[in-house]
């Protein structure tokens, strides 16, 4: 009897050990192995088209540092931003929410007194709860009034411009807008009027490298938001003419150099294995500028539209030992998911108020291809729900948009003319076989449309849809000077 009891105890203990080992192995596979909080670097360009870097392009633009970054990390071919325009896209990145939920639509103009509400929790504020030092270098564009500037939204340091680089006297439509001088800021103080932006990419890179070196002993978050390749285009003297393919290609070459400087610094400072680096952009190319704009090929349209060319962006992520090298995924993701994913990796709590992003770490590290979202929703204009991405499908609702006719696109920094267009009927596209959204297959898949419509109605009940005259209770007010 005793021997039988002893055998049962041994078997039970063995099963417990096996169970513990399986649980522990699962945790190792789905969590960072390093117990130290990881550093985070987000490199966010402006108006970069899907085809504007070598790994995604058809225009023979060489980006060797981004090639290396992808070979040492992963690239995601179906990565989306929440809206195809500056402020709205950045609000979604910083808050993990659809930008209309946090009251941000379109692009903020200077001196309007509008900004991202201080009641919203930014990515920087979230990371500071875990002891991170936070720095933003580049374009902010979430409010230029002092209370909305980066140092009042969770960043310890800011060096850059408060809004788009074309919001200055050199704007093609200056007679209409009457912009004042574009100013370079150090924290909340304007230190210089930028009559020439040629050295700005270099300056932002140098300051970002200094930030890494100064904060290497503690966890840090670096948000490097380059104003380029948004027009007007500028490259430093070292890069002008370097490609022989025009100014746009020179600008891309300098941005790629900047990525290389960041990655090399991380290696030199011994931070490489504990730093997650992301490269992407805020929206697609501003096609009306012709040869001073990039390309979204093979996708339809570009910036200011919710077709793929406006909202799908190149996305590269690198973290040696955590992100599998050379991994390529077509699992859809969106910028709203970065906030909760970084929160999980930093051990931070999510905001009390509702956000829309979800933790996608298991997708980023190659452990899963199952997105926790049922769908992604594309709002634009005055809170119009214009499209829904569901599995391989994209449902697009009738709406008006500004198309670009290549024959009327501008040249050499001159803005071309838009072509007002209307999508008159609901359209369903199979993005696997038709990434250019050319063939409406709605008549062949009523079941898919019915499924997506149910999801869309749930979102409309939350955020509204001005295309249908609906307001949603889930939208929070925009920040206004004096309100917060």
Active site residues: 86, 141
283-305 as b/e: b if 16+ CB within 10 A: bbbbbbbbebbbbbbebbbbbbb
Let me know: does 393 contact 428? Beta carbons within 8 Å: yes
- State whether residue 242 is helix, strand or coil: coil
Distance separating alpha carbons of residues 484 and 481, to the nearest angstrom: 7
The end-to-end CA distance of the chain, in Å, is: 75
Distance separating alpha carbons of residues 127 and 94, to the nearest angstrom: 11
Let me know: does 46 contact 164? Beta carbons within 8 Å: yes
Overall size of the chain counted in residues: 484
Radius of gyration of the chain (CA): 23
Is the bond leading into 232 cis (omega within 30 degrees of zero)? yes
Let me know: does 282 contact 311? Beta carbons within 8 Å: no
Distance separating alpha carbons of residues 51 and 180, to the nearest angstrom: 33
Q: In what order do the strands lie in the sheet with 393-396?
A: 376-380, 384-390, 393-396, 427-430
The H or E element spanning position 266 is helix 247-268
**Tokens standing for residue 108:** 């903020």
Greatest Cα-to-Cα distance within the chain, rounded to the nearest angstrom: 98
What are the residue ranges of helices labelled H in 290-441?
A: 308-311, 338-346, 361-364
CA atoms within 13 A on the CB side of 284: 27
**Residue 197 class from Cβ within 10 Å (0-12 exposed, 13-18 middle, 19+ buried)?**
buried
Q: How far is CA 476 from CA 100, 143, 449, in A?
A: 8, 16, 29
Pairing of strands 393-396, 427-430: antiparallel
């Amino acid at each position: 009897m005793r021997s039988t009891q002893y055998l049962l105890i041994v078997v039970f203990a063995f099963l417990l050990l096996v169970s513990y080992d399986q649980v522990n192995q699962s945790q190792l596979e789905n969590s960072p192995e390093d117990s130290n909080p990881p550093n985070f670097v987000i490199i966010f360009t402006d108006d970069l088209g899907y085809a504007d870097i070598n790994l995604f392009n058809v225009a023979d633009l060489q980006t060797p540092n981004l090639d290396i970054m992808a070979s040492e990390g992963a690239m995601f071919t179906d990565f989306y931003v929440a809206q195809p325009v500056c402020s709205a896209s950045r609000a979604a990145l910083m808050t993990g929410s659809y930008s209309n939920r946090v009251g941000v639509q379109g692009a903020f103009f200077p001196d309007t007194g509008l900004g991202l509400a201080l009641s919203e929790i930014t990515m920087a504020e979230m990371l500071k709860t875990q002891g991170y030092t936070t720095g933003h270098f580049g374009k902010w564009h979430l409010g230029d009034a002092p209370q909305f500037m980066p140092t009042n939204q969770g960043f310890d340091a800011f060096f850059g411009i408060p809004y788009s680089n074309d919001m200055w006297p050199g704007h093609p439509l200056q007679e209409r807008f009457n912009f004042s001088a574009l100013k370079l800021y150090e924290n909340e103080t304007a230190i210089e009027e930028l009559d020439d932006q040629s050295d700005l990419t270099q300056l932002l890179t140098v300051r970002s490298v200094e930030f890494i070196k100064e904060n290497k002993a503690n966890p840090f978050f670096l948000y490097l938001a380059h104003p380029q390749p948004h027009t007007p285009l500028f490259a430093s003297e070292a890069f002008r003419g370097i490609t022989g393919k025009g100014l746009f290609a020179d600008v891309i070459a300098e941005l790629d150099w900047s990525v290389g400087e960041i990655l090399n610094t991380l290696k030199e400072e011994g931070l490489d294995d504990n730093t997650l680096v992301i490269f992407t952009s805020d929206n697609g190319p501003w096609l009306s500028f012709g040869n001073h704009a990039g390309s979204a090929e093979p996708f339809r349209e570009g910036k200011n539209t919710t077709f793929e060319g406006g909202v799908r962006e190149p996305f590269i992520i690198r973290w040696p030992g955590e992100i599998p090298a050379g991994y390529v995924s077509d699992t859809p993701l969106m910028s709203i998911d970065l906030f909760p994913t970084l929160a999980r990796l930093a051990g931070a709590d999510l905001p009390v108020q509702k956000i829309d992003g979800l933790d996608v770490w298991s997708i980023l590290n190659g452990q899963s291809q199952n997105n926790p979202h049922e769908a992604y929703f594309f709002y634009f204009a005055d809170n119009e729900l214009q499209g829904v991405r569901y599995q391989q499908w994209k449902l697009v609702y009738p709406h008006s948009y500004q198309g670009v006719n290549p024959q009327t696109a501008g040249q050499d920094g001159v803005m071309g003319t838009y072509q007002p267009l209307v999508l008159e009927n609901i359209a369903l596209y199979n993005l696997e076989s038709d990434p250019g959204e050319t063939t409406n297959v709605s008549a062949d898949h009523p079941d898919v449309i019915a499924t997506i419509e149910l999801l869309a109605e749930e979102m409309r009940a939350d955020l509204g849809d001005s295309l249908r005259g609906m307001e949603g209770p889930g939208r929070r007010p925009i920040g206004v000077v004096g309100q917060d």
